[in-house]
C-alpha cells in the first residue's frame, strides 16, 4: 500500500489506523471490550452494540467476551481437536496424519511424501500445500510457516480460544475432490445445535469463491464476506450431505454458534476443523439484512447481569 492510498483510507475511515496499529501489535494493551468496539467500527463502519446485540457480527463479538470456556482451546487446536473428533464421531473421519513437529525448523522436507499439506495448529491461514514436490518451493514454505508459528492469533481479533494453544506444525495427507485438481470445503454454520447454512468454498488457488445453500441444498444468493463472491456455480448435492448434517448437529449441540468444516474425497467424508468466529465475526454481508437474519438464529443466554 502506498503512503497516499494509506492516507486516503485513514481520512475516509479514521478507525483504519486501529487496524494498522494492531497488525504491528502496538495496541495489545487495550482491554478486549474496547478493542472489539474499535475494530468493529473500523471494519463495518458501525457502532458495536454489546448491550443488546442483534446482528450476527455483533453476537460473535459478544461471544468473544462472555463465552470463554477453557475447553474451547482444545477445539480450535488443529492437533488436539483430533482426539475430540475421535471420541465423538470416530477416527474414520480424521484426515490421515503424516507428521507432527514442535517447530518449523524440525521439519525434514526431504522425508515428506510427494504430496502433503502442512498446517500450524494454533492459528488460521498458516498452511502450505504441496501438490508436486518437484515444483515445491521449500524456502517459501519455511518462511511462511515461521511467520505464522511466531504469532499468537488471539491478538488479531481477541478470539479467546486461541490464546493458550501450544504452537506446533502438523502434516496431513494431500487430498482432492472429484474434480481432480482442488478440494472443496463444506463449511456448515450451526446455531444452538442446529445446522442452517452450508458454505461451499472452491477455486482457492485461482479466485476463491463460495456458494451458499440451505440444508435442503437450495442455493441462497447472499455473501457473508464480499471477498468471496457467490457466483452460483452449479454443484450437485453431495451424497454424504445427510451424514454431514448428522455429524454437525451432534458436534454443535453445546454451542451458541459454531462452524464445522468437511471435505469429500474418493466418496469418503472427512472432518476438517471447528471455528467459533468465522472471519473474526467481522463480516460485511451482501445483502446486509442477512447479518440480522443469521443473528436472529443465535440465542444468547438471558443473563445480562451475570455476563455483562
pLDDT tens-digit readout, 49-85: 999 999 999 999 999 999 999 999 999 999 999 999 9
* Grid cell at residue 135: 515444483
Q: Collect all residues with Cβ–Cβ distance below 8 Å to 43 and sequence separation of at least 6.
A: 19, 282, 284
The whole-model pTM stands at: 0.91
Per-residue CA distances from 267 to 33, 61, 238 (Å): 45, 37, 9
Per-residue CA distances from 182 to 115, 127, 186, 220, 260 (Å): 13, 16, 13, 23, 19
C-alpha angle 73/30/161, rounded to 5°? Answer: 5
Based on DSSP, count helices (H) and strands (E) in the chain, helices before strands. Answer: 11, 9
Give residue 234's pLDDT. 78
Residue percentage of the chain with pLDDT more than 70: 92
C-alpha angle 104/106/109, rounded to 5°? Answer: 85
Residue 197 phi/psi, 5-degree rounding, is -130, 145
Query: 222-225, long-range: CB within 8 Å, 24+ apart, which pairs?
Result: 222/285, 222/286, 222/287, 222/290, 223/285, 223/286, 224/199, 224/278, 224/279, 224/283, 224/285, 224/290, 224/294, 225/279, 225/283, 225/284
In this prediction, the residues of the chain whose per-residue pLDDT falls under 70 are 1-16, 205, 232, 303-308
Q: In whole angstroms, what is the distance from residue 198 CA to residue 27 CA?
A: 35
Give residue 203's pLDDT. 80
Residue percentage of the chain with pLDDT more than 90: 76
Amino acid at each position: 500500500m502506498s503512503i497516499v492510498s494509506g492516507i486516503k483510507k485513514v481520512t475516509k475511515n479514521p478507525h483504519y489506523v486501529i487496524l494498522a496499529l494492531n497488525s504491528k501489535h502496538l495496541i495489545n494493551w487495550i482491554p478486549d471490550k474496547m478493542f472489539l468496539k474499535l475494530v468493529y467500527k473500523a471494519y463495518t463502519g458501525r457502532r458495536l452494540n454489546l448491550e443488546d446485540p442483534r446482528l450476527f457480527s455483533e453476537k460473535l463479538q459478544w461471544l468473544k467476551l462472555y463465552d470463554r470456556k477453557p475447553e474451547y482451546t482444545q477445539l480450535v487446536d488443529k492437533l488436539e481437536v483430533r482426539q475430540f473428533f475421535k471420541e465423538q464421531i470416530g477416527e474414520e473421519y480424521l484426515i490421515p496424519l503424516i507428521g507432527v513437529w514442535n517447530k518449523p525448523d524440525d521439519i525434514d522436507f526431504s522425508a515428506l511424501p510427494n504430496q502433503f499439506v502442512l498446517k500450524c495448529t494454533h492459528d488460521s491461514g498458516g498452511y502450505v500445500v504441496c501438490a508436486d514436490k518437484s515444483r515445491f518451493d521449500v524456502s517459501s514454505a519455511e518462511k511462511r510457516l515461521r511467520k505464522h508459528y511466531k504469532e499468537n492469533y488471539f491478538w488479531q481479533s481477541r478470539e479467546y480460544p486461541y490464546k493458550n494453544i501450544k504452537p506446533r506444525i502438523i502434516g496431513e495427507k494431500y487430498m482432492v475432490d472429484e474434480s481432480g485438481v482442488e478440494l472443496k470445503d463444506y463449511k456448515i454454520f450451526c446455531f444452538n445445535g442446529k445446522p442452517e447454512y452450508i458454505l461451499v468454498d472452491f477455486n482457492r488457488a485461482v479466485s476463491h469463491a463460495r456458494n451458499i445453500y440451505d440444508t435442503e441444498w437450495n442455493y441462497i444468493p447472499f455473501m457473508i464476506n464480499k471477498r468471496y463472491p457467490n457466483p452460483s456455480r452449479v454443484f450437485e448435492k453431495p451424497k454424504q450431505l445427510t451424514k454431514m448434517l448428522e455429524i454437525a448437529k451432534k458436534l454443535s449441540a453445546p454451542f451458541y454458534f459454531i462452524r464445522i468444516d468437511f471435505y469429500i474425497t474418493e466418496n469418503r467424508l472427512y472432518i476438517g476443523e471447528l471455528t467459533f468466529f468465522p472471519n473474526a465475526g467481522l463480516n460485511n454481508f451482501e445483502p446486509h439484512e442477512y447479518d440480522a437474519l443469521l443473528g436472529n438464529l443465535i440465542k444468547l443466554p438471558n443473563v445480562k447481569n451475570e455476563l455483562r
